[in-house]
Structure 1
Amino acid sequence: MMEIYLDRDRIEVPEGARLGDILTGWDARCSVAVIRPALEEDATESQEVRFATSAGDMVVEMADPALVSRLFAPGLAERLRLHWQDRYAAAFGPFETGIRPARAPGRYERGDVILGCGGYDPARSYLIFARMRHTADYGAPADGGVIGRVVTGRGLLDRIAEGDRVVEIERILRRADRSHAIVTRDPGLPLEDGMQVVSSIEAEVQGFTGGEIDTRAARSVEHFLLSVQSGRFRVDRSSSTHITDTHLVPTKVPPEFIGPRLEGSITVRTAGKSSGATYIYTQGVSASPAHTVVGRVVHGLELVRFSSDGDLLAIRVEPEQFDLVGLTLAEAEAVAERRGIALTADAAGGDRMVVGQTPATTLEVLSAGAARVATEAAENVVSITLDEAAAPRSVTIFREVTGLKHHAVGKMPLVFRFEDVSLFKPKIGKGVGIIPENTPTGEVPAFTLAMTNDSRRGAGMVGIRETPNAEFGPTAEPLTGTNVIGKVLDAGSLAKMREGTTVYVREVK
């Protein structure tokens, strides 16, 4: 048998096993990082230490490499039992050190690892893991006693319970270069004893730690949750310090949390041509007013570090986005119940679809523990498909102005109906060019969805025609002025709707 490290788990596999044998439910489009065991002379000791506990594993990045060998002497793990805990921290020990307690409180963040002592006696020292931001006097030195921070397994801080202990302390070896690491999608890759396989990224959003919710970055965090809604991060650009996903560019995102972009930090760009792009950092860089911090990686940084342009990476984010728009009312009620959210709807009974949600952001909903939804009769929601491959710019504009870029249901005003044509006029900003693309050359089928391009005075008008026509498009313009952007799957009660009403559209993908 061979021993393999798969994400956070040690597993045993038979000789001759392949990569695909250990990846349950793997999306073959996604890349995984495979780190081969290196020769001893090719490996270097890092500042990271793995704490194997009875509740699970944590990796701590030490502030001072020299402290690792000085503090973690043989036999220390045997003395690290959970001695006390509260909502703020958990302490393991006691053991003896030579620290000099300052007899003053320090300020700590979630994940900080503190060296302190009980009763200001260094012979009764403890390793203290901070569960949330707080201020306390732990008998630490004058500098506060923070000797490291938890970089992997931070969720374990909330699961440590009475009787837990540290089983093993192990200094992690890091490879000096990329020669032993590959990023691959090959399920037939042979496994080797001691290999490390990292199949996905796990992240926590800004403002969601230790059971407490801070909504100050709620809107920018919501944009990040939308960008990874599919559970995928698309590496459009990679550099020595970060990788970038640009598929939601351009989008206006507020600069809510400007801070240092540490290794593992996740930010969204708030200004410039790439506004709306998501960044994950593999190396710390200084803060930028054009970037807002939206989260941090808690597992899988190796996959980020070794990925390249074009890679698709699996990502899981805590918390899951809470967006009920586009669900039936029954589905929305089920989601709210599963997540412990009290839901109030504007109507009850019947076949209804959610078309609006208040509060609009996940963190605000979770903080309040309640949400209100606006609904519409399902027959009044028009189901459409969009042809992004044939008309990429026009489809992008349509999604933006109707709200489909952010939710499964969008809306637009019905401005005119005559005979078999329905015309809509979504609000399009000045300077937005609608170039001719995917203009029809023959008969336009019934229930084609189209937008008037800039060759006509009515540029930006959206139309649906209920019968085929070989002379005029769905917006009643000549075919040269018509950009076909999709088709209507179910017009519902569109024919009964009056001019001036709001029509809701649901994109089916």
Structure 2
Amino acid sequence: MKIEINDKRRIVPKGTLLGEVIDEKDYVEGCVVGIIEKAEKTGEGKEEFEIYALKGKMEITLNKSKFAGFWKSALNKVRGKKIILNSSKVLGIGLFPSEIEVDKGLYSYKKWDVFFGNGGFDNKSTYVMIAKKDHKGTYGVKGGVFGKLMRGRYIVDSLEKGDSIDKIRILKREEERMKVFSTTNMNLRLKDGMSIYTFVHILLSKEAPIACEHFLSSTKNNELTIDESTSAYVSLKKLAYLDLRQENACKREKYSITVRNQGKGKGRIYFYRANRSLHPSHSCVGKITQGEKIIDGAKVGDHITVHTTPRKLFSVGMTQSEAENFFRSYGIEHFRKGNKGDNGLIVSQKPELTMELLKEKRVESFGVDSDTIMDIILYEKEAPATVNYIRKVSGLAHGSVGQLTVYFSHPQMTQTFLRGNKSFAENLLPENPPTNVSKKGELGVTNMSKVNIGMIGIRLKDSPEFGSTGEEFYATNMAGKVIKNLDMLKSLKPDDILYVREVKK
């Protein structure tokens, strides 16, 4: 049987199961897989052509215009030609002589239209153009549109001037009605002609560095869970751990992604199924270049595998040696600070934002002795809001090691107090209070029932009366516990930095 998986063609035996063709590096277990199945042939033919370049293949479908005839007669002239232009509006392939009539008028082009142009208003310099956005232009031909780019759109931006067109292959298919669905059933028996998509690939925009970092932090495990679905978009709630602001407002096109940067729902991520107008409260962070059908079929509760270009470039939690190798692979110069030894554990880096790091091509990482880091477990199920607060205040939201500042500590005290952030905690309702006793090593936060809302505390001795921040039980939200290096708290002084590492249960 012939199938396609993530736009790559494969031949598999009859009876092959879905789970047998999935590559683990492209898929997170439990996420949905998008399937396109040929459901019914109508008998009507469409003429299609595959265009092969060094970076991949593109597929165009012809229309019924006279220019489609010109295209078919010019195939041998186009083969071997090079990319002569790749602007924000169009990709150009050529040049070659033709008999296409010259016209100096202004005409409209839709995104992904494929059309002819005559360079310098001379049909001895004809080229093939692909529209990258809706626009009007004067290209020396009256319209000239002969088809639509249907597949391989993701490689258009990567093609460079001088890249050659290696091969053009003719396809002629019967028109087929398609059935699109999603599944997590790895025992699904595949059928001939199925197209399978295991992940959504997103090309991120350098014009929104903060919103992109928010997105990268939200997808650090290559997985997102949809919690809202409409005809125009699917979205998910993600708390804004970074200081989101207005960036890169643009028309929200189909298959683009935005992050809400203010107001209700700040931090929410949107994947668009239809065009929407520009809105200043939305920062455009990128566009889907592969796996669009997963978004088309996504429902509330679906888990989606996500890959991005670029990936998150963040070294916190690595050793100095690991970080050096990691950054070298991206051509980034690495400078060690603090504990510079190979085993020094990185607790901070400058710059932090991936887009800024790629721009500067240099990074500093600050290392410490791993024995100076406190390991904690967070009670995510029992106290989700409080755990989110801890992660936001400490930086654990986007790195495996966070930092908390000591507010007050003394060897004779029964708890250590750590600075919080009242503005982050303003709506922190009571949850998961201690029962009977507040135990040694437990980490708690004062909730909104007390004036010291947001204060973080770690208990050094059991107490049957007061929580980790010295408040009554009803005013204390228990958020986690220390599992390593609790005794180091006794030696800390006000304004000292406490490094904490989250250990998953």
TM over 0.5: yes
| 2:445 is aligned with 1:451 | yes
**Partners of 2:208 and 2:110 in 1: how far apart?**
18
| 2:478 is aligned with 1:484 | yes
Whichever residue aligns with residue 491 of structure 1, its letter is N
**1:220 Cα deviation after fit:** 1.7
Partner of 1:409: 401
Partner of 1:83: 81
| 2:43 is aligned with 1:38 | no
Per-residue CA distance 1:131-186 (angstroms, 9 max, x = gap): x99xxx9964488989866633336625984572323466896747xxx2221000
Structural mapping, 1:188-199, within 5 Å:
188-199=187-198
Structural mapping, 1:72-221, within 5 Å:
73-74=71-72, 76-85=74-83, 88=86, 91-92=93-94, 94=96, 96=98, 98-100=100-102, 102=104, 115-117=116-118, 120-128=121-129, 140-141=140-141, 151-154=153-156, 157-158=159-160, 161-162=163-164, 164-168=166-170, 175=177, 180-207=179-206, 216-221=207-212
Per-residue CA distance 1:204-262 (angstroms, 9 max, x = gap): 0123xxxxxxxx32122222222222211321111111111213368652221111111
Structure 2 contact 425–447 (Cα < 8 Å) conserved? no
Question: Alpha carbons of 1:280 and 1:475: their partners in 2 closer, same or farther (altered >3 Å)?
Answer: same
Partner of 1:237: 228
| 2:463 is aligned with 1:469 | yes
Structure 2 contact 446–452 (Cα < 8 Å) conserved? yes
Q: Alignment partner for residue 289 of structure 2, among 298, 304, 307?
A: 298
**1:507 Cα deviation after fit:** 2.0
TM-score, normalised by the number of residues in structure 1? 0.84
Question: Alpha carbons of 1:499 and 1:174: their partners in 2 closer, same or farther (altered >3 Å)?
Answer: farther
Question: Alpha carbons of 1:259 and 1:144: their partners in 2 closer, same or farther (altered >3 Å)?
Answer: farther
| 2:361 is aligned with 1:378 | no
Question: Alpha carbons of 1:256 and 1:143: their partners in 2 closer, same or farther (altered >3 Å)?
Answer: farther
**1:428 Cα deviation after fit:** 1.9
5+ residue gaps, structure 1, are: 208-215
**1:276 Cα deviation after fit:** 0.9
Whichever residue aligns with residue 340 of structure 2, its letter is G
Question: Alpha carbons of 1:171 and 1:260: their partners in 2 closer, same or farther (altered >3 Å)?
Answer: farther
**Partners of 2:415 and 2:291 in 1: how far apart?**
52
Partner of 2:10: 11
Question: Alpha carbons of 1:201 and 1:475: their partners in 2 closer, same or farther (altered >3 Å)?
Answer: same
- What secondary structure does 2:305 align onto? strand
- What secondary structure does 2:153 align onto? strand
| 2:258 is aligned with 1:264 | no
Structure 1 contact 32–198 (Cα < 8 Å) conserved? yes
Q: Alignment partner for residue 399 of structure 1, among 388, 391, 406?
A: 391
Question: Alpha carbons of 1:290 and 1:163: their partners in 2 closer, same or farther (altered >3 Å)?
Answer: closer
Structure 1 contact 325–355 (Cα < 8 Å) conserved? yes
**1:386 Cα deviation after fit:** 1.0
Q: Alignment partner for residue 431 of structure 2, among 429, 433, 437?
A: 437
- What secondary structure does 1:164 align onto? strand
**1:270 Cα deviation after fit:** 1.8
Aligned residues: 488
**Partners of 2:240 and 2:339 in 1: how far apart?**
38
